[in-house]
Structure 1
Amino acid sequence: MRTAPEHDARMANMRFASVYPQYVKKVESKGRTKDELHQVINWLTGFDEMKLLELIEEGVTFETFFKKAKLNPKAPQITGVICGYRIEEIENELTRQVRYLDKLVDELAKGKKMEKILRQV
């Protein structure tokens, strides 16, 4: 699936720090914790809590965030629809990576077991 170049540019230039509080609010409003969110982000990106907070403090864009990440080799197992896009069909790599994160946050908020979210089963 081809996304519009404007959409891809908007994703690349969006600051992770501007979206992170929304992730926290979403999972906490559904009874999950910030620690669980950090576990999910760590699984996808390899960032420990210290590095994650450093990137938030720096105000990095999603483009920089994912350039610095060591994406989990199981990330392509993250499939399905998020924000109207079928993740596995998104051609732009960065946009697909951002949607991987969105999907994991969504699964956490929906109460999925951590083993399933982290693709351990």
Structure 2
Amino acid sequence: MVESAQHKEHRIFGMTFASLYPLYVQKVERKGHSSSEVDEVLAWLTGYDKGGLDRVIADGTDLRTFFAEAPAMNSNTSLITGVICGMRVEEIEDPLMQKIRYMDKLVDEVARGKKMTSILRSA
């Protein structure tokens, strides 16, 4: 039974954070933003500081582990709404996929030039 459960699992869960991070940075840099802005939204979402991000990149940590070991998932993630990859993030049922799409959505908002206070769901 374990095999069939793994078979159904989305392959993005096994992707390394290190493979995604440079893509996020490239995306925001193309639009005139910086890697520090990516780091800021990732810290808000997961609690990883720059050293923590550098460590998971160096260790080849997969996304499943990246989120499972996140120092402090933000309690305001439910405030992240909208469409990413054709899906409404607030309606994604799989908790891990939802966290991955939250991350995509935040990086997207940086790239689009949204104000950081708005991205970080500040009052």
User: 1:33 matched to which residue of 2?
Assistant: 34
User: 2:93 matched to which residue of 1?
Assistant: 91
Q: Select between 20-29 and 6-15 the one with higher mean Cα deviation.
A: 6-15
Instruction: Summarize the alignment of residues 51-66 of structure 1 with structure 2, pairs less than 5 Å apart.
Output: 51-66=52-67
SS of the aligned residue for 2:10 comes to helix
Give the total of aligned pairs.
117
Deviation readout 1:26-77 (Å, 9 max, x if unpaired): 0011011111110110000000000100000000110000001121000111
Which amino acid in the other structure matches residue 68 of structure 1? E
Q: 1:111 aligns with which of 105, 113, 116?
A: 113
Change (3 A) 1:60 1:11: same
Which amino acid in the other structure matches residue 31 of structure 2? K
Aligned partners of 1:8 and 1:95 also within 8 Å? no
Moved over 6 A (4+): none
Q: Which has the larger radius of gyration?
A: 2
Higher relative contact order (CA 8 A, sep 6+): 1
SS of the aligned residue for 1:120 comes to coil
TM-score by length of 2: 0.91
What root-mean-square deviation, in Å, do the aligned CA atoms of Structure 1 and Structure 2 show? 1.4
